[in-house]
Every structure is written in C-alpha cells, then in structure tokens.
Structure 1
Amino acid sequence: MYEWLDTLPASVVISDSVVRLLLSTAILMVVTLVLRALVSRLIRQKVNSVELRRKWLINSRNGFLLLMLLGLVMIWGEELRTLALSIVAIAVAFVVATKELILCVIGSIIKTGSRSFNLGDRIQVKDFRGDVIDQSLLTTTILEVGPGKHVHQRSGRVVVIPNALFVSEPVINESFTHEYDFHVFTVPFKRRDDWRAAQAAFLESANRHCAPYLEAVRQYMTRIGRNRGLETPSVNPRVTIQTPVSDEIHLVIRFPTKAGQRGYMEQTILTEVFANNDFLAAHPEPAAEVPAPTETSLS
C-alpha cells in the first residue's frame, strides 16, 4: 500500500541552484539564531536595570528578525522575482477572462453608492426602459415600458440588464419624485391648421384635470426643492410652441400628475380635446395635378 513512498525520492528532482539556496538559508538561520542567543546572554549578564534589559532584549530580537528577513530576500530574490512575474501574468489573464463580471460588480457598486434608483422606479439605460423589479450583484431586472420613450404602457416583456452598463452609460430616472411627477408630450400641427385653438383647448383640459391635486403638488414640490436645495419649479400646466420645421408647429404640453398616471392623463387629455374639436384648416391646399401622359412618354 505504501510502495509509492519508496519511489518518491527518485521522482523528485532538485536542481543544484535550489540546493545552494536551501543551504544558504539554513546557514543564515543558524548564524542568526546563534548570534541572537549570544547577544541575549550578554545583555542578561551586563545590564542590571530590569527595564533597560527588557528593552534591549526586545530590540535585539526584532533586529535579528529583520536581519533574517533581509537575508532571505537577498538569497531568494531571483526566485521571488520570477514568482511575482508569474503571479502578475496569472492575474492579468484572470482579469481579461472575467472583465465583464468585474464590470458588473463595479456597476453594482456605482449604482448603489450613487443611489440612482430604487425598486419600483422607472428608468432608462441606453435603449432599455422600464420599471425596476429586481436587483442583484450582476444584473438589474426591469419590466419593459414602451415601445419608445414616449409610451407609458408595459409591453409584457422582462429585460435583464447587466450592471456593466451603469459604468459607461447614463441612467435616466423617471421616478425622481415619487408621489407626483411632471409629464410632457408633443402634438404636431401644420402651420395652416388652427393650432391657436388647439393650444387653448389643451391648456383648458390640462388645468381642469389637474385642478383637484394642483395645490398638493405645489406643496410637495416645495418640500422636495427645500430638502434637495433646488429651485421649486412651476407646477401649473403649460402649453408651449416649437417649430422644428418651417411648415409645422408642435404644441408641447406639460402638466403635473400623480405617480403612475402619466400615460392615463395623456390619453385622457388627447381623447377629450380631439373628440370635441377639429383643428384642420378650413381650406386645405389642393393636391398637385399630375399631367396626363403623352404619346411621346408612352413610347
């Protein structure tokens, strides 16, 4: 059963350089221990003060220990250098192989330290947008909202985002204020349409639907601004104008709403305004006439 013990010395090959290093190490340790014993004996015999004798014994012990460590470094320096290079190569290979996992852990630390969002918040990272339902060391899980960044209904899909994205991509938190929030949407019109009437209709509808909780929103935003050192924004609904192209006018409607009701309020206002009004131009431009084909063109 123990026959392998007889073959062990023959299978272990020790080079001459290692033998010299081991011999040097043994000589260093023996010499250091002998010198320490001699010095300690001399201190006990020659120093009469108990306190001074204890101090010198401790200093001599630490000095010989440091001398032994320096001697070992000098003896094994080349081998230690080779070992360090091997360890560095292994560490570099490990970092390259696990780069994504390391980035995920760093991203988790960043989002936790910055407190950029919490469970239940609606966030957007790159092209991924939805409500956060789970967080772990490596991933963040959201219920997708969309399609697009202007739709506020859930698509029914679950998206698992690697936390590595939080290292290099900005995070948009749409739930910065938890009880009340602002919502903005855009309605395009042609310049010849009755966009002035549409502006008044949207403003009237937004004011009417926001009136029951407008004062509560104002107090809430004032408290948020005071706690975070921000200027309190105006909470009154507003309709502003944009002209992205020469022949179009876009109405930008902004109003306060309760958390989780952005999509509902947007659809309510749009349905009410367009169900009761027609903003098309009274005299639409005639369509351009297409010339009849001639015999030459047919041929």
Structure 2
Amino acid sequence: MSSDLLRQLLHNQLVWSILLIVGVVLARYLLSQMFKNSSWARQDIRRRIHMVHNFGNLVMVVGLFAIWVSELRDFALSIAAFSVAIVIALRDVVQCLVGGIYQASMRSFTIGDWVRIGDQFGEVIDNNWLSTTLLEIDPHGLGNGYTGTTLYVPNSVFFSQSVKNLNFMRRYIEHTFSIVRESKGQNPFVVKQFITDRVLQYCESFKDVAERYCKLIENRMGVELASTEPKIEFRTSDIGHDVLTITLFCPREAATEIEQKVTEDFYRFWYGNTGSNTEAGQAATPVKN
C-alpha cells in the first residue's frame, strides 16, 4: 500500500513541481542571506543577489516546463483554435521578455548604474527578464539625489524609448542655470567680469580634480568633451529681459550651492554692496535701483 502511494507520488507532476519551487526558493533565500552577511562591498552584494534571483527563476521555469511538457503538448494541441487569442493576450509579456534579452545583449547598463529611460531617471537596483527597477533620482534636486520613489519599468520600453547611461553624473556634472533680470536701460555686461571672477573663485577648489575626471570620461567614452572652464553668456528673453546663463563642470553635490552663491552675488552687484570696486573687477560701480 505504501509502495503504491510512493510510486504515485513519484509520478505525480504536481508533487515534483512543488518540490522544485520550494527547493529553488529555499536555495535562493539561503544564498541571498549568505551574500548579505558577507564582507563584500554593497554593490557587489546586490549584483550577486541579482544573479542568484535571475538564475533561480530560469531554473524554475525550465524545470516546470520539463515536468509538464507532455501535458503542455496535449494542451497546446487542444487549444489550437485559440492560438491567436493567446498570442494577443501574451503580447506584452513576450515584448518584455524580448526587451530583457535585448538589453542583456546590448549591456547598456548594469546594477548600480544611473540611467535615463525615456523620462524616467534613477539608479538601477534590479533587472530581470520582464522589468527593470529604478530608485528614482531627481535630476533637478542635485544636492539630494534620491527622491525615495521606486520605479518599475517594463522591459518592452527598450524598443520604443531611448536608454541613456548617466553613470558618470554620479560625481561631476555640467550644470547650467540662468538668472533673469528686468532690463532698466543699463548695460548688463558691466557685471560679467565680476561674476566671472566669482565663479572661478568658487570652482578653484575642485578645478584640478574636475579636469582629471573630464579626461577620464573622454578616455572611456572615446569622445572629446567641452572644456571644464565656466562659460558665461548674456542674451535677451522674448519680453526683453536680460538673461545671464552660466555653465560649469562641478561636483554634483556642490551644483546647487554654487548656483545660489552666484545668484546672490549677481543681485548684490545690482542692488547691494559688493564690498569694493576692486572686488567687482573695477568694471563698473554697482547700480542702485
């Protein structure tokens, strides 16, 4: 009696399926815990856990397919009339699967990279066959970086939207900001030398490091980037206001602080006390309005 029961269990595909799923989940959990308790760097731990999860999912899918292949074959024959409906129903899943294979072959990013997928901008924290998980980063919140929002992007978007790897933005960025002032008949260029001196002063502490980092990016990407020297230019808006635009290559964390300091210096030149005419580059005396 017991031997017959055992024989039935050994030939029961449902039992084998449950054993396979439990075994894969248990092995994946044990390996993940072992990696988390290791002394490796956090980035390496996340990559290894990601590999274990993907490999476990692959083993589970292949194993279940092997267990149920005979039933699936009979089932496929019995639903031949509904094949078109099934293809339509699984279209999104197939697109995500193919998109995952496409991304893996292109190697456009890996775990820990900063990427922009369409309008979504974040750090890749997980990537499987169907979706990519991003920890959102606000490109305008340069001082804080992470917003605390987790984005789940289906892999099918890789066929319809561009993918930009922004990993080099983690340290230094080309930051551009503008200051708009109502034109009151004065020559706006009298402030240019003063602002230029201020920007150079704020960038002096990291100038050498910025140049080396720019060279590193050029060597790895095989392109020639613009100079790391700050760029200051004037233009007018559609309604006749003076627009001062400043572009500088600086550490990401310092971008907002430098922008605020330069903006404060600009308005102090026109409306406040700059300290001395020498400090203003002796180009002009601050205008009181």
TM range (shorter): 0.5 to 0.7
- d(CA) in 2 for partners of 1:250 and 1:186? 6
1:194-273 paired onto structure 2 within 5 Å:
195-196=188-189, 199-258=192-251, 262=252, 264-273=253-262
Give the TM-score of the pair, scaled to structure 1.
Answer: 0.53
One-letter amino acid matched to 2:173: D
Q: Is the 8 A contact 1:106 1:167 kept in 2?
A: no
One-letter amino acid matched to 2:162: P
Deviations 1:187-229 (A, max 9, x none): 3333337754554454334322332332233233334324443
Counterpart residue number, 1:189: 181
Aligned length: 194
Among candidates 87, 93, 97, match of residue 95 of structure 1? 87
- d(CA) in 1 for partners of 2:118 and 2:220? 30
Deviations 1:37-90 (A, max 9, x none): xxxxxxxxxxxxxxxxxxxxxxxxxxxxxxxxxxxxxxxxxxxxxx99x85x65
Q: Is the 8 A contact 2:177 2:259 kept in 1?
A: no
Counterpart residue number, 1:143: 135
- d(CA) in 1 for partners of 2:130 and 2:225? 37
TM-aligned CA distance change 1:201 to 1:102, over 3 Å? farther
Range moving further from structure 2, 246-255 or 133-142 = 246-255
- d(CA) in 2 for partners of 1:251 and 1:228? 31
- d(CA) in 2 for partners of 1:268 and 1:194? 27
Q: Is the 8 A contact 1:202 1:273 kept in 2?
A: yes
- d(CA) in 2 for partners of 1:199 and 1:132? 41
Q: Give unmatched runs, 5+ long, in structure 2.
A: 1-75, 272-285
2:224 match: secondary structure:
coil
TM-aligned CA distance change 1:162 to 1:201, over 3 Å? farther
1:116 match: secondary structure:
coil
- d(CA) in 1 for partners of 2:235 and 2:162? 27
Range moving further from structure 2, 230-239 or 118-127 = 118-127
Q: Is the 8 A contact 2:92 2:156 kept in 1?
A: yes
Counterpart residue number, 1:78: none
**Cα shift at 1:183:** 2.4
TM-aligned CA distance change 1:172 to 1:226, over 3 Å? closer
Identity %: 25
**Cα shift at 1:104:** 1.3
Q: Is the 8 A contact 1:130 1:144 kept in 2?
A: yes
Counterpart residue number, 1:171: 163
Q: Is the 8 A contact 1:202 1:253 kept in 2?
A: no
- d(CA) in 1 for partners of 2:87 and 2:254? 50
- Higher alpha-carbon Rg: 1
**Cα shift at 1:168:** 0.1
Counterpart residue number, 1:68: none
Q: Is the 8 A contact 2:179 2:263 kept in 1?
A: no
**Cα shift at 1:169:** 0.8
Give the TM-score of the pair, scaled to structure 2.
Answer: 0.55
Counterpart residue number, 1:161: 153
**Cα shift at 1:239:** 1.9
TM-aligned CA distance change 1:156 to 1:228, over 3 Å? closer
